[in-house]
């Protein structure tokens, strides 16, 4: 059995793997540790889903399903790199690329009409969005900045934008009719099977049947009113123009793969309301779906001069929009997966509340976050920095996070139970004994969803928080709102456990807005705190605070203590990975920083030593920490500019520092003897290796594909040093 699984993923992290994984495998083998791979990339997931359409030599095993079984065992030791949580445009692009490479995959049915098309669409819909994380996360999250990383950030503070008290940047959220205001929640007293039905004047439609929940599960239900959303968006577009700020919509259309693309589509339609009113039928005939974004819309109508002219006139009359790429004219509303709230909002806050406008200049922005469930954390952050000025990374403390995410906990597990309502009526969740657990009166177009969190993950989450607080001895806050239905049910679990363990005095419980301010006050003073949160806040906060503290969330230590005893070690966020790939393709420079991979590798090896009694693995893990420190202390992280050291250079230095640490240690003489000549070869080859790496940069690169690249071409691009390759093998 393979000791450690290193996941094959997408974009910049996967390109980096082509350079880094051979180093890992070379060094691990000396300790008798085998490192294998499993393909959870978007292309890999697509190919595994449609074997019947492929030749025998094209078929691919379902590695995600295999990993899903592995993480439920004590033997799991998985290093998980960030993968694409595919939006529909990304999914369609990946399918087209694979088709061009000779894979006879079916097209993604935009509007399925036949049973066969509906079946294909259902398979594809199982791939998009957060298809990977809920399968692998059979444990709760422990995310924090590694000490070496935090110390480096304090000693080498990154640039922060200046805040002014009169900044017009602000957050706008719905005051009613959203998921937050309509939420109901209940904790089940027994094992149940449930169904979700829509009762209308024309009859009853079963939306979902046969949903099983064990006793103790917290089950929520809520909906967003389409009418309220449309009114809100129209008002905010008008207010943005009046204020002279940028209109910016911040969503999570990748993870919330059913609800948020629909909300995004409402925003596209609201921004171009006069055009849809005038040309709606003609645009529908052209296949326009606002959920697919402004970019797709413009591509479909480009040959209709009347529509194009009216779009240009409408855009000229609207407020300027927050831009993804001003030079290329890519707006906030072009693609739903381009502006992801957990990366976009922290970046804007770090920049002093500024976003890029269509004129290529920075401006204040109206940050539109329709649902009010978590908008307050960003609203309060902005208010705090307006009052107090920017955070000083040199003196700031840190916010760690303990996140409830095991077994598809909370909203990110809601995809199979999220529906766009076709006809006005009442949605009911009915248990097998006839009890109506939840019901909401809805209108056509409303978005209804249910989410759940099971008892075992909740209790594990609280106990993990207790362990971390004891280890750290810092302030610890449960980010739970007693006035929110779901949070009130969680509080009913949290308080008794804390009291039974005799640690209630060590913890505070605050609503997210108050917890945000308390945490910012704490780290501003140089102290640390632990944020104990639900699943979505886990995702948001482990970008927000690291981006403020460290300049990036990719450098976070992310440990998932699997509930059956295994370990899952995540390597950080991949939100900026597409731009990294673009630069590599154009200039053969990869600025992806593998620091997250370094941290995860060290933890994985230490975990393996504890689990399997492999003391050589422990020595390797300690040496990884030394190598990571060497990278930071000596400034060998990747540069952003072509012609300067990049990701491949950092891997050379990591291998060298790792080998030197192993050669110098006295815990294992055999390992010291083994790595001494390797360390010497890496040191003596420095000039040749760095010269070969530098010579590779500049020209455009052909990888043979974006989503499904050619392995040989990728290896050639990412391992251009013959000298280094001869040492590593």
Tell me the CA distances in angstroms from 119 to 258, 265, 591, one per residue in order.
17, 24, 41
Does 580 appear as a known binding residue? Answer: yes
Residues 129 and 322: their CA atoms lie apart, in Å, by 24
Q: Map residue 452 onto helix, strand or coil.
A: strand
Q: Map residue 157 onto helix, strand or coil.
A: coil
Does 62 appear as a known binding residue? Answer: no
Does 313 appear as a known binding residue? Answer: no
Helix (H) or strand (E) holding 36: strand 35-39
Residues 488 and 175: their CA atoms lie apart, in Å, by 20
Does 543 appear as a known binding residue? Answer: yes
Does 592 appear as a known binding residue? Answer: yes
Question: Which residues, in sequence order, are bridge partners of residue 449?
Answer: 222, 418
Q: Do residues 213 and 189 touch, judged by C-beta distance below 8 A? A: no
Contacts of 541 (CB under 8 A, 6+ apart): 377, 399, 401, 479, 531, 533
Does 279 appear as a known binding residue? Answer: no
Does 539 appear as a known binding residue? Answer: yes
SS3 per-residue string spanning 87-131: CHHHHHHHHHHHHHCCCCCCCCCCCCCCHHHHHHHHHHHCCCECC
Does 143 appear as a known binding residue? Answer: yes
Q: Do residues 493 and 188 touch, judged by C-beta distance below 8 A? A: no
Closest CA to 708 of 80, 6, 96: 96
Closest CA to 466 of 490, 492, 502: 502
DSSP line for 492-517: HHHHHHHHHTT-GGG-EEE-HHHHHH
Does 71 appear as a known binding residue? Answer: no
Does 342 appear as a known binding residue? Answer: yes
Q: What does residue 18 show for φ and ψ, rounded to 5 degrees?
A: -60, -30
Closest CA to 638 of 585, 678, 583: 583
Does 546 appear as a known binding residue? Answer: no
Q: To which residue do tokens 């759940």 refer?
A: 452
Does 197 appear as a known binding residue? Answer: no
Does 517 appear as a known binding residue? Answer: no
The CA-based dihedral angle spanning residues 83, 89, 95, 98, taken in that order and rounded to the nearest 10 degrees: -70
Closest CA to 407 of 437, 373, 452: 452
Helix (H) or strand (E) holding 364: strand 362-368
Does 320 appear as a known binding residue? Answer: no
Does 166 appear as a known binding residue? Answer: no
Characterize the bridge pairing of strands 330-331 and 418-420. unpaired
Q: To which residue do tokens 């000779």 refer?
A: 102
Does 140 appear as a known binding residue? Answer: no
Does 291 appear as a known binding residue? Answer: no
Does 591 appear as a known binding residue? Answer: yes
Does 295 appear as a known binding residue? Answer: no
Residues 137 and 197: their CA atoms lie apart, in Å, by 30
Does 9 appear as a known binding residue? Answer: no
Does 248 appear as a known binding residue? Answer: no
Does 575 appear as a known binding residue? Answer: yes
Q: Do residues 316 and 271 touch, judged by C-beta distance below 8 A? A: no
Does 78 appear as a known binding residue? Answer: no
Does 85 appear as a known binding residue? Answer: yes
- In which region does residue 20 sit, left (phi positive, over 0), alpha (psi from -120 to 50) or beta (all else)? alpha
Residues 538 and 446: their CA atoms lie apart, in Å, by 27
H helical segments located in 551-646: 577-587, 595-612, 615-633
Binding-site residue numbers for NADP(+) are 80-85, 133, 575-576, 580, 591-593, 640
Annotated binding site for substrate: 130-137
Q: Extract the annotated binding site for Mg(2+).
A: 342, 539, 543
Provide the annotated binding site for D-threo-isocitrate.
143, 538
Residues within the annotated binding site? 80-85, 130-137, 143, 342, 538-539, 543, 575-576, 580, 591-593, 640
């Amino acid at each position: 059995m393979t000791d450690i699984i290193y996941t094959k993923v997408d974009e910049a992290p996967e390109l980096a793997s082509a350079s880094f994984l051979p180093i890992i495998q070379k060094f691990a083998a000396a300790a008798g540790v085998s490192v294998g791979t499993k393909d959870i990339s978007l292309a890999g997931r697509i190919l595994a889903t449609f074997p019947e359409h492929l030749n025998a030599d094209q078929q691919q095993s379902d590695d995600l399903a295999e990993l899903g079984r592995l993480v439920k065992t004590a033997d799991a030791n998985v290093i998980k790199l960030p993968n694409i949580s595919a939006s529909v445009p990304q999914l369609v692009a990946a399918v087209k690329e694979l088709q061009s490479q000779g894979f006879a995959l079916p097209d993604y049915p935009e509007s399925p009409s036949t049973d066969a098309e509906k079946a294909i669409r259902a398979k594809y819909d199982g791939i998009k969005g957060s298809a990977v994380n809920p399968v692998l996360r059979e444990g709760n999250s422990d995310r924090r900045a590694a000490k070496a990383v935090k110390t480096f950030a304090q000693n080498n503070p990154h640039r922060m934008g200046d805040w002014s008290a009169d900044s017009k940047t602000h957050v706008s959220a719905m005051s009613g009719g959203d998921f937050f205001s309509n939420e109901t929640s209940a904790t089940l007293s027994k094992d149940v099977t449930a169904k979700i039905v829509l009762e209308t004047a024309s009859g009853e439609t079963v939306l979902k049947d046969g949903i099983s929940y064990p006793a103790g599960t917290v089950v929520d239900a809520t909906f967003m009113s389409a009418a309220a959303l449309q009114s809100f968006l129209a008002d905010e577009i008008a207010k943005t123009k009046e204020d002279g700020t940028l209109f910016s919509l911040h969503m999570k259309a990748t993870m919330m793969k059913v609800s948020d693309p629909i909300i995004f589509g409402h925003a596209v339609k609201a921004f171009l309301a006069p055009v849809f009113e005038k040309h709606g039928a003609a645009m529908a005939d052209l296949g326009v779906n606002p959920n697919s974004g402004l970019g797709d819309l413009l591509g479909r109508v480009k040959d209709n001069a009347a529509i194009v002219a009216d779009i240009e006139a409408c855009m000229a009359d609207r407020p300027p929009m927050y831009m993804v790429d001003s030079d290329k004219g890519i707006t906030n509303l072009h693609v739903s997966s381009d502006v992801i709230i957990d990366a976009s909002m922290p970046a804007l806050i770090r920049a002093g509340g500024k976003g890029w406008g269509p004129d290529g200049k920075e401006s204040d922005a109206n940050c539109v976050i329709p649902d009010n469930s978590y908008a307050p954390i960003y609203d309060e952050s902005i208010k705090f920095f307006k009052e107090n000025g920017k955070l000083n990374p040199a003196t700031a403390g840190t916010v760690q996070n303990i996140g409830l995410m095991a077994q598809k906990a909370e909203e990110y597990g809601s995809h199979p139970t999220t529906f766009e309502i076709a006809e006005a009526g009442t949605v009911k969740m009915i248990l097998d004994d006839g009890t109506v657990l939840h019901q909401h009166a809805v209108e056509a177009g409303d978005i209804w969803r249910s989410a759940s969190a099971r008892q075992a993950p909740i209790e594990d989450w609280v106990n993990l928080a207790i362990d971390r607080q004891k280890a750290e001895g810092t302030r610890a806050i449960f980010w739970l709102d007693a006035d929110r239905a779901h949070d009130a049910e969680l509080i009913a679990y949290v308080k008794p456990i804390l009291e039974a363990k005799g640690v209630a005095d060590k913890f505070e419980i605050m609503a997210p807005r108050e917890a945000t301010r308390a945490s910012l006050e704490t780290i501003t003073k140089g102290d640390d705190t632990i944020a104990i949160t639900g699943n979505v806040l886990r995702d948001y906060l482990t970008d927000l605070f690291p981006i403020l503290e460290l300049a990036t969330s990719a450098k976070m230590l992310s440990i998932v203590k699997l509930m059956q005893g295994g370990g899952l070690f995540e390597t950080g966020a991949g939100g900026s990975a597409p731009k990294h790939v673009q630069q590599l393709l154009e200039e053969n420079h990869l600025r992806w920083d593998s620091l997250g991979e370094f941290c995860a590798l060290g933890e994985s090896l230490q975990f393996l030593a504890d689990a399997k009694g492999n003391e050589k693995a422990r020595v390797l893990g300690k040496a990884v920490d030394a190598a990571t420190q060497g990278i930071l202390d000596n400034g060998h992280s990747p540069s952003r500019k072509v012609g300067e050291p990049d990701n491949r250079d950092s891997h050379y230095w990591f291998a060298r520092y790792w080998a030197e640490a192993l050669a110098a240690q006295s815990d294992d003489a055999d390992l010291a003897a083994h790595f001494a000549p390797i360390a010497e070869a890496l040191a003596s080859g420095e000039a040749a290796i760095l010269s070969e790496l530098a010579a590779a940069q500049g020209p455009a690169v052909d990888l043979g594909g974006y989503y499904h690249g050619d392995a040989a071409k990728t290896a050639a691009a990412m391992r251009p040093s013959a000298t280094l390759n001869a040492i590593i093998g």
